[in-house]
Amino acid sequence: MPDVTFYRNEALPFLEAKQCTKSDLTYQKHFHEEYSIGSIDEGETSAWCDGTMHQVEAGRVISFPPYMLHACHPTSLTVWRYKMLFIKQDWLKQLERRELEQLHIPFLLEGDKNQYCRHLINRVMESLTVADEPLVIETVVIELIHALVNWNTLDSEHSSRNRQEIKYIGRIREYLHAHYTERVTLEELEKALGISRFHLIRLFKKGTHMPPHAYQNLLRINHAKVELAKRRPIADIALETGFYDQSHFSRAFARIVGVTPQRYASSR
């Protein structure tokens, strides 16, 4: 693996990810036009941010708003690994104004919030490296933004739902049932329902306890089980249900069913 690697997805032009394992890499003062969120995997760095010095150790998450001057100097040149996400402003402008204002401050995270956001950064990176579907990647990015600015109300599943919310949740379900074999994007869901993708994710997760892509995957797996029982070729079923290859299908199937498609098909 190269010392510095960038990851992108053509369907998500607002997002770029960077993974660095170069131990002798330091940065002079600079800024990004995007909102940047980083996680230190190994090592420690002195991070200068707009005139203030921060000491950032392994496991910590740090973020910078667009055009904020900053510089990083690892304190040890033997071990230094980090991940960074760069999110374009145009995409972020879809947030509510209150949330957008909260984003525009540099900060180091603490405690459970730090751990949860780090977990989400790792999920975004993993999804990009395995070329996951756009719906999966963008959903996790939205969850990360919500966690950054709205931690105290992140788990709002138990709050009451009004009729309008129930209606939208039902419409999202209907859309996914009609299109579950397709590579659905949040942009498509947004247009079909007439509400923002940020609000859409909140509503659906509040009502079903899972994001849309997870619900879509369950529909795909359930369909696959029916077809596997007919002893049809696994590769054909993988393609038919919307997975981009048989390997991806097998991993997703095993996570839900507990066995591989081949073993499920051979069961009596």
- CATH for 217-266 is 1.10.10.60
- In the chain, what are the domain boundaries? 4-150, 152-214, 217-266
The span from the CA of 74 to the CA of 204, in Å, is: 41
Taking CA 24 as the corner, what is the angle to CA 18 and CA 28, rounded to the nearest 5 degrees?
Answer: 70
Rounded to 5 degrees, φ, ψ at 11 are -80, -10
pLDDT score, position 67: 80
Q: Which CATH architecture has domain 4-150?
A: Sandwich (2.60)
> How much is the pLDDT for 95?
75
Residue entry with tokens 């760069």: 86
Q: What is the pTM of this model?
A: 0.78
10 Å Cβ neighbour count for 183?
Answer: 13
Question: Angle between the 163-179 and 212-228 helix axes, to the nearest 10 degrees?
Answer: 40
The DSSP call for residue 87 is: E
pLDDT (tens digit, 9 = 90+) per residue, 143-192? Answer: 999 888 875 544 444 444 577 888 889 999 999 999 999 999 999 999 99
C-alpha gyration radius of the chain: 21
Task: Find all residues with CB under 8 Å of 107, minimum gap 6, and list them.
Answer: 62, 63
Same fold, 4-150 and 217-266: no
Q: Among residues 137, 125, 120, which one has the least CA distance to residue 5?
A: 125
Q: What is the block-wise mean pLDDT of the chain (268 residues), using blocks of 10 residues?
A: 82 92 69 90 86 88 86 75 92 76 74 93 94 92 88 47 81 94 93 90 88 92 91 92 89 88 82
